[in-house]
Amino acid sequence: MGEFDLIARYFTRPTPRAALGVGDDCALLQPAPGTQLAISSDMLVEGRHFFADVDPAALGHKALAVNLSDLAACGATPMAFTLALALPGVNETWLQGFSQGLLALADAHGCELVGGDTTQGPLNICITVFGEVPVVHGKSQALLRSGARAGDDVYVSGTLGDARLALEALRGHIALPAELLAKARQRLERPTPRVALGQALRGVASAALDISDGLLGDLQHLLKASGVGATLDTSIAIHLLADCAHTACGKDLISFENRLELVLAGGDDYELAFTAPVSARQAVQAAARQADTPVTRIGCIDAEPGLRLQDAEGQHLSGAFASFDHFA
Amino acid sequence: MGEFDLIARYFTRPTPRAALGVGDDCALLQPAPGTQLAISSDMLVEGRHFFADVDPAALGHKALAVNLSDLAACGATPMAFTLALALPGVNETWLQGFSQGLLALADAHGCELVGGDTTQGPLNICITVFGEVPVVHGKSQALLRSGARAGDDVYVSGTLGDARLALEALRGHIALPAELLAKARQRLERPTPRVALGQALRGVASAALDISDGLLGDLQHLLKASGVGATLDTSIAIHLLADCAHTACGKDLISFENRLELVLAGGDDYELAFTAPVSARQAVQAAARQADTPVTRIGCIDAEPGLRLQDAEGQHLSGAFASFDHFA
């Protein structure tokens, strides 16, 4: 199968919203008047971001999900994406699964595949995603990392830790019963981008970002961009522990320290961390209900730079919870 | 050096035109009112699109040039791009050269680096580029592949064949004097995207595309998209032969057949092929002058599908000039 047949068979779909989709030198998008275009790009490499034997449908899902998560963090409404794909060879079973997983998530978010590239090479998936953000009275409604202010609350969506739990089990570092691993693996391989929550938080949150490299590490990017610090209550944060990790803890399969580490530095969760003024607490809960996504308030923003962890008694913990850095 | 330091040192630049550049979950672009956004994405893989020992500055140039060429084919004005980069490791000499070559071309076209991704993996460069196209009285001014009509002229910009000549020499298939190879290699490794010509052809050309895989192969995409055929005069097309190929031919380093093949199916030239009504001949020449880019009229569009080659006497040639297909 040639490159053009491959694109035609697996990656060419109607694009009713885009002015022009796959098949020309460029795709054409026409953002609505008075909107900004939010853009994010993520590259997934075999052995680094996924195992060679991963279900191709899950991989297709994840490749788009991690990009949609960036749009969510910005409060953008998904519009379209491009897919650049390097493949070692043409494996139609793989392509069928991959495109099915990819396009099912795309359809669920009304995000059209408008173009890209296909070539031969070590497996590499690069998706660039486009979303719309309204501009109201000349002011962009995009959620940025830089808007947190001293006194704001700090929130996290959903739950944390199951993706890393699965990763550690797949790496052979911990043993999990098959059923528990299968469930945790879903969180690792099929993350849910918090797109609806991101949109609902426009005009409510003061700053936001997605947690792909671990809560503490990513939150520090937000603090740095905002020129502030934060104090988190670990006795509350621990309630963010995801189902499988909670079960594994109950069965003594992981220790208390590991449990806290999964929450604070697990990574690959694709939840949102965000800040909002105290006056917006009701609005935050309303946004969470509207998006059908739980959010937990875990701390507050301080004027003093740095990230501090407290236990229930207000005692400071020394945190050595490193974040994931692709070149560390 | 960590991922974030690497991005800060080599790939973070001021972005006066973009609403938001590198450093948040998304970049933000605000296209001018009444414009469309043209988008294209290309992935370059070591061993497939470039040799492992290529000068990193040339590689940085080419990675963006092939994308700008797609904008040129659309008649779009470059705005911004994202860069996703998989690197086997951190080599600062390489990064310095690559980013210098990349950003020099970006600066020359006012095309801002607004975001992307960096990870570890087999060397892979994925750029997604964004350009603006005006919409006049509700009609997009983008040059598409689908606008060619029977009776239109067929044109090609610049010259063809030197990139493939260099490739064949580097592959050891032909022998070239060092000076000639060095010159031809410039065309292979530092192609010139015809951005100014593409913009000047808005409202003049009826269809256009860039020639990255060879003239005949690429032209057939245009013919198919337009539902037409074409007849090319090879006695005129041969004058498209680029300088080095011309010299190599004069020295009997390549044969007549190879010479024609370089023009018709060489590939990697990144010139534009386009069509325009006979009534626009003066306007085409004016656009060429405005863009300071020569164009040559090499044939005409027919109602009958298919691509026919004629010699100076109007005799049909049977063409077996295959185009480059990444999975053929």
Please answer whether residues A111 and A195 qualify as being in contact, where contact means their C-beta atoms are separated by less than 8 angstroms. Answer: no
d(CA B113, CA B234): 41
For residue A247, count CB atoms less than 10 angstroms from its CB and return exposed for 0-12, middle for 13-18, buried for 19 or more: buried
Amino acid at A239: H
Chain A CB contacts of B6 below 8 Å: 327
Contact A121, A158 (CB under 8 A): no
pLDDT at A6 over 70: yes
Q: What percent of chain B has pLDDT over 90?
A: 66
Q: How far apart are CA A242 and CA A163, in angstroms?
A: 9
User: Is B211 within 8 Å of chain A by CB?
Assistant: no
Do the beta carbons of residue A242 and residue A160 sit within 8 Å?
A: yes
B161 and B263 Cβ atoms separated by less than 8 Å? yes
Average of per-residue pLDDT across A123-141: 94
- Provide the mean pLDDT of chain B: 90
Residue A326 has pLDDT above 70, yes or no: no
Domains identified in chain A and CATH numbers: 3-140 (3.30.1330.10), 145-317 (3.90.650.10)
Instruction: Please give, rounded to a whole number of angstroms, the shortest distance from the CA of A315 to a CA of chain B.
Output: 32
Confidence at residue B321, expressed as pLDDT on a 0 to 100 scale: 52
Who's near B288: CB < 8 A, 6+ residues apart?
A: B157, B197, B200, B294, B295
pLDDT of residue A320: 53
Q: Which of A210, A211, A195 is nearest to A105 (CA)?
A: A195
Interacting residues of B192 by C-beta distance below 8 A, sequence separation 6+: B65, B158, B270
pLDDT score at B328: 35
For chain A, list the strands marked E by DSSP.
Answer: 27-29, 35-45, 77-87, 112-120, 124-136, 139-140, 153-157, 207-211, 229-233, 271-276, 295-302, 306-310, 316-317
Window 118-157 of B, Cβ < 8 Å to A: 118-122, 124, 126, 128, 130-131, 133, 135, 140, 142, 144-146
Residues in B closer than 8 angstroms to A90, CB to CB, are 327
Q: Which of A2-11, A161-170, B94-103, B122-131 has the lowest mean pLDDT?
A: A2-11
Q: Are A157 and A293 in contact (CB under 8 A)?
A: yes
* pLDDT tens digits, one per residue of A33-88: 889 999 999 999 998 888 888 899 999 999 999 999 999 999 999 999 999 999 99
pLDDT at B325: 43
Please state, in angstroms and rounded to a whole number, the distance separating the CA atoms of residues A216 and A212: 11
Looking at residues A115-121, what average pLDDT do you find? 91
pLDDT at B150: 97
Which residue matches tokens 């994931």?
A: A324
Distance, CA of B25 to CA of A208 (rounded, Å): 9
3-state secondary structure of A139: strand
The pLDDT of residue B320 is: 53
**Can you tell me the mean pLDDT for A274-293?**
98
B27 touches chain A (CB under 8 A): yes
Which of A152, A167, A281 is CA-nearest to residue A222? A152
pLDDT in tens, B267-323: 899 999 999 999 999 999 999 999 999 999 999 999 999 999 988 887 787 655 544
Q: Is the CB of residue A160 less than 8 Å from the CB of residue A323?
A: no
Contacts of B225 (CB under 8 A, 6+ apart): A23, A24, B144, B145, B146, B207
**For B84, which residue in chain A has the nearest alpha carbon?**
A43
Comparing CB atoms, the residue among A28, A85, A90 nearest residue B37 is: A28
Write the CB contacts of B320 (distance below 8 Å, at least 6 apart in sequence): none
Residues in chain B with CB shorter than 8 Å from the CB of A51 are: none
Greatest CA separation found in chain A? 65
What confidence tens digit (pLDDT) does each residue in B169-205 have?
998 888 999 999 999 999 999 999 999 999 999 999 9
Range name among A105-119, A228-242, B232-246, B314-328 with the lowest pLDDT average: B314-328
Residue A280 gets which letter from DSSP? G
Q: Which of residues 267-296 of B touch A (CB under 8 A)?
A: none
- Say how many residues make up chain A: 328
* Those residues with Cβ within 8 angstroms of residue A258's Cβ, 6 or more apart along the chain or in another chain: none
Alpha-carbon span B159 to B148, nearest angstrom: 22
Nearest-CA residue of chain A relative to B130?
A26
pLDDT single digits (tens) A190-232: 999 999 999 999 999 999 999 988 999 999 999 999 999 999 9
**Cross-chain CB nearest to A326 (options B43, B120, B210):** B120
Which pLDDT score, from 0 to 100, does residue B318 have? 66
Q: What is the pLDDT of residue A328?
A: 35
Residue B52 vs residues A327, B44, B94, B225: alpha-carbon distances, Å: 21, 12, 12, 36
- Best residue in B3, B17, B22, B26 to probe A by mutation, most A CBs within 10 Å? B26
pLDDT tens string B64-118: 999 999 999 999 999 999 999 999 998 999 999 999 999 999 999 999 999 989 9
Identity at A123, one-letter amino acid code: L
Site from A17, A25, A48, A202 to mutate, B interface, most B CB atoms within 10 angstroms: A25
Beta bridge partners of B273: B156, B209
Q: Which of A3, A9, A22, A24 to mutate to test the interface with B (most CBs of B within 10 A)?
A: A24
The Cα A72–Cα A201 span in angstroms is: 10
CA gap A80, A309 in Å, rounded: 39
Query: Using CB atoms, which residue from B1, B73, B326 is nearest to A120?
Result: B326
Say yes or no: A209 contacts chain B, CB-CB below 8 A: yes
Determine whether the interchain pair A86/B124 forms a contact, defined as Cβ–Cβ distance below 8 Å: yes
Q: Pick B326's closest partner by Cβ from A3, A20, A71.
A: A3
Inspect the interface and report whether the beta carbons of A25 and B131 lie closer than 8 Å.
Answer: no
CA A170, distance to chain mean position in Å, is 21
- The DSSP element (H or E) to which A166 belongs, if any, is helix A162-170
Which chain A residues contact residue B86 at CB under 8 A? 43, 45, 124
Res A318 pLDDT > 70: no
Is residue A13 within 8 Å of residue A116, measured between CB atoms?
Answer: no
Q: Considering only CA atoms, which of B222, B192, B205, B191 is closest in space to residue B153? A: B205
Quick check: B39 and A115 CB within 8 A?
yes
H helix runs in B125-177, sequence order: 162-170
pLDDT given for residue A319 in this prediction: 56
B145 contacts A23? CB cut-off 8 A: yes
A35-45 and B27-29 as β-strands: parallel, antiparallel, unpaired?
Answer: antiparallel
What pTM value is reported for the model?
0.91
| Chain A hits for B145, Cβ within 8 Å | 23-25
Question: CB-based contacts of A283: which residues, under 8 Å, 6+ apart?
Answer: A204, A276
Closest CA to A129 of A199, A180, A82, A59: A82
